[in-house]
Each structure stands twice: as structure tokens, then as C-alpha cells.
Chain A
Amino acid sequence: AQSVTQLGSHVSVSEGALVLLRCNYSSSVPPYLFWYVQYPNQGLQLLLKYTSAATLVKGINGFEAEFKKSETSFHLTKPSAHMSDAAEYFCAVSDRSAGGFKTIFGAGTRLFVKA
């Protein structure tokens, strides 16, 4: 069965610093992987997705993630944090069993950005 582990429920960085949010997955089949972001009082927004094409995936707002099969990781990075990046981030894998594509989420990582 597919599962996702996000390391660190809270991450704090200074404005302008590197953002690194860690995600490891478990999947019995080639995975579809996603990062979603939830800004305060808003819904889930797709940041980026990996669907077996290029291993380095670029998303919106300057974020990118690299799929590393040998490490079963899909860490999210951004070179320079902005105050507006403060939000909760969810790594997710698509479970393609049962004839559907239900999404399995990690527990989420809340990103704080300090001025």
C-alpha cells in the first residue's frame, strides 16, 4: 500500500533562506507524487506533480521537487523563501488501486517564514 511520510511538522526559515521540506514515500508501483499547499483560510492548491517524466519537477511560485527512486524521496525546495510562502504543505501519492486515483496525504508541514 502507498504511504507518505513528511519529516517535520513545523519548519521555520528566514526570509531569503532556502526552503527544504522533506517527503518520503512508499509505493508498490511507480508512483504519481504531488505537493499541495494550503494557505490560511483557503483550500488545497496543487504546487507540482511527478508522473514518471522528468525527475526534477518545477512548480508554481518558484518551488521544485526532485524524484529520487533510490531514496524513495520527493523533497520540496525553493531557493529563497518569501513571507508569502508561509502556509501548510502536503506531500501526497496517488493510490491507483481499486480502479481509482485516491490521494494519500502526508501529515503536512507548516512553514513559518521569519522577517
Chain B
Amino acid sequence: NAGVTQTPKFQVLKTGQSMTLQCAQDMNHEYMSWYRQDPGMGLRLIHYSVGAGITDQGEVPNGYNVSRSTTEDFPLRLLSAAPSQTSVYFCASSSLGSGGGYTFGSGTRLTVV
């Protein structure tokens, strides 16, 4: 089925460890983005990309890196995990210019201990 695939679904990290959250979409969407969702905070934008080789920061980019080497993939890297990065992470994509809604992945629940 077409859509946005995120892996892993769950992850526990120790403080200071690094890891990459994977996101892939098969809809040929130009736009991809990462959000984090915390209780009572709604969703906050971390990074986004409007095409291969083009990325930009969102509202809460500190502690995260992204790259976009292909249209399909948009991985999110945690450089040195901190307990404050405990959250649920969502990847979303959309077709630029369509004025349409975003397609979200099912999320990665990350706990940093």
C-alpha cells in the first residue's frame, strides 16, 4: 500500500547514544517533514525538505540532523540522545503545489533513559 513508512516503531536509547529514525514514502512526494508530538504540546516541526538535496529547519531543530539524498527517503538523526528527546516522532509527506493534506507515517515512539 502506498504511504509513509517509519521504522522502528519503538526504540529505547541511553543518554548520549545516537540513532537514525527512518522514513520512506512511495508517492513521489517532493515535500517531507519530521514532527515530534509530546503530551499537551501538539505537533512541533523539527526539519523539512522540499526535494532531494534541500532541507531546512523547523521550530525545534536542535539535537537533530536530516539529509535528503533521494525523493523517497528522509532519515532523522539524533546526534547525542537526551531525555528531553523522549517523544513520538512522525514523518509526513505531501505533493508540493497540490494544496493538499499531508500523509503521515504511523510514528516512532522513542524513550531516552
Q: Do A and B bind each other?
A: no
**B interface residues with partner A (beta carbon < 8 Å):** none
**A interface residues with partner B (beta carbon < 8 Å):** none
